[in-house]
Amino acid sequence: MSKEPLIAARGVWKFFGDFAALREIDLEVAAGTTLALLGRNGAGKTTLLRMLAALSSPSRGSVTVGGWSLRQSSARARLGIIGHGIWVYDDLTAQENLEFFAGLYGIPKPQPQIDRWLESTGLTRVRHSPAREFSRGMRQRLAIARAFFHDPDILLLDEPFTALDDRAAALLSGLVEQAHAGGHTVIISTHQLREALALATDVAVLDRGRLAFRGPNTPELQAPPEDFYRQFTEQNAG
Amino acid sequence: MNVLRAAFAIALKDLRVERRNREVINAAFSFALVVLLLFSFTFDPSGEETREMSGGLLWLVFSFAGVLVLNRSFARETSNDCLDALVAAPVPGAAIFLGKALANALLLLVLELACLPVFGIFYNVRWQVNFGWLLVVFVLGTWGFTVIGTVFSALTVNVRLRELMLPLLVFPVTVPALMASVQLTTALFSGQPIAPELLWLRLLVGFDLIFTLLGVALVETLLVG
């Protein structure tokens, strides 16, 4: 890789009891890359992404962002994360949710940013209603605002399009494209190959906890799912 | 971000959520009232012996009601995976711990102050006599109980039998703080000056300091698996 890695996982293993969910992962991601993290169910995508998001620590090896351990607050401040949960408080209003996270991310006068994100997610009208009264789509859009509004330069998206309604999916696609155009680094873990390969500059494929492939996204990779995974898993078995 | 500022933000958020749904304070207060009422039927409220065990009785009620408060502390974060949001945020684990402990302690203190007049009526105890010192004891005893409880609440947040596990873990470790609180409260209810009991007060302060530091040091390891 020509550029200095922004995200580096070196010799990473993760054990749950005796089971090794990740086996000696060496993965470097340069700034400005959009990486599609692919693999079948149970391949270890979410485990790796949780580690990159500072939600889990490696059993062996290290993960750094910009050369810093993720236990450093400054490294975590650069991350914008959409995980399996929506990470918003049902008993707080949309405004209060964003105010709370603005406080945690040390944004001194967050109101203009909150206004902008509520506007772009179409939640201005319901800003003072508790999130529990929102429809599923509205909650998802609030989750997107929560993930993006501190202007992170690294986006970690775990199955981000799953269960999104059309409006939220379009919003998220637009934001990911904008982030990529703005030189931000994006890692998307997903089963939706076509969408991921359309967005990605690079591809990493996990197979049973091992990194089976890591390289640029090329036209040769555009294959139907069954063939796509077979080419790497057979390579890995061999 | 400054640890204390983040801790206050987290505590404020917890108190705001509690003000909205009142799921903890209503349950804990109802429970405390029922226990106080049942005990008042069991003991003769005018008896001298009852007054001698008044501190123990009161802290027993506070402890049981306190476990209800502590049980929800981190469990509240499991809805929508909000605990992940806290762990991934650029704040130290110490801020999460202190914020949670502060919110728990304030909720428990409100509960204790609400129970005190009821206790005074049921058990014929003159709690107003040394109220200033009593407040100091309540604050120190409650902080000691909640720092331990907050650590174990973080530890048991993903345990299936959390409601059962938490008291089993919390009560043995909080024995020194509870003993000191009971001794001091009983002495103050009897109208005695605090001076002969200063050793218990020192023990309570030492307990609070040691376990606060331990909690601050341990919580990050507990939260990041």
Quick one: A146 and A161 in the same domain? no
Quick one: A115 and A9 in the same domain? no
Query: Which among B82, B83, B98, B222 is the top mutation candidate for probing chain A, defined by the most A β-carbons within 10 Å of its own β-carbon?
Result: B82
Show the domain range for A103.
92-151
**pLDDT less than 70: residues of chain B:** 1, 45-46, 225
Measured distance CA(A131)–CA(A161) in Å, rounded: 20
Q: Which residues of A touch B16 (CB under 8 A)?
A: 91-92, 96
Quick one: A109 and A161 in the same domain? no
Does the beta-carbon distance from A89 to B220 stay under 8 Å?
no
Quick one: A105 and A207 in the same domain? no
Residue A231 within a domain: yes
Q: Is the predicted pLDDT of residue A228 greater than 80, yes or no?
A: no
pLDDT of residue A50: 95
Q: Is the predicted pLDDT of residue A226 greater than 80, yes or no?
A: no
Q: What is the pTM of this model?
A: 0.90
* A89 lies within 8 A of chain B by CB: yes
State the DSSP string of A76-137. Answer: HTTEEEE-SS----TTSBHHHHHHHHHHHTT-SS-HHHHHHHHHHTT-GGGTTSBGGGS-HH
Task: Report CA Rg, chain A.
Answer: 18
Residue A201 within a domain: yes
Region A114-133: mean pLDDT is 95
Q: What is the pLDDT of residues A141-160, one digit of tens each?
A: 999 999 999 999 999 999 88
Contact A74, A234 (CB under 8 A): no
Measured distance CA(B74)–CA(B87) in Å, rounded: 12
Measured distance CA(B89)–CA(A78) in Å, rounded: 10
Q: Is the predicted pLDDT of residue A238 greater than 50, yes or no?
A: no
* B158 lies within 8 A of chain A by CB: no
Region A33-55: mean pLDDT is 93
* B33 lies within 8 A of chain A by CB: no
Higher pLDDT, A227 or A111: A111
CATH of residue A219's domain is 3.40.50.300
Domains identified in chain A, total number: 2
Does the beta-carbon distance from A92 to B79 stay under 8 Å?
no
pLDDT of residue A2: 47
Quick one: A66 and A98 in the same domain? no
Quick one: A223 and A208 in the same domain? yes
Q: Which SS3 state, helix, strand or coil, does residue B188 take?
A: helix
Quick one: A41 and A103 in the same domain? no
Share of chain A above pLDDT 70, in %: 93
Q: What is the pLDDT of residues A165-183, one digit of tens each?
A: 888 888 888 999 999 999 9
Nearest partner of A22 among A43, A50, A1, judged by Cα: A43
Helices and strands (DSSP H and E) totals, chain B: 9, 0
Q: Residue A175's CB: how many other CB atoms inside 10 A?
A: 22
Burial of B133 (0-12, 13-18, 19+ CB in 10 A): middle
pLDDT of residue A1: 45
Q: Which residue of B has its CA nearest to A156?
A: B88
Share of chain A above pLDDT 90, in %: 68
pLDDT of residue B161: 86
Quick one: A230 and A161 in the same domain? yes
- Average model confidence (pLDDT) for chain A? 89
Residue A222 within a domain: yes
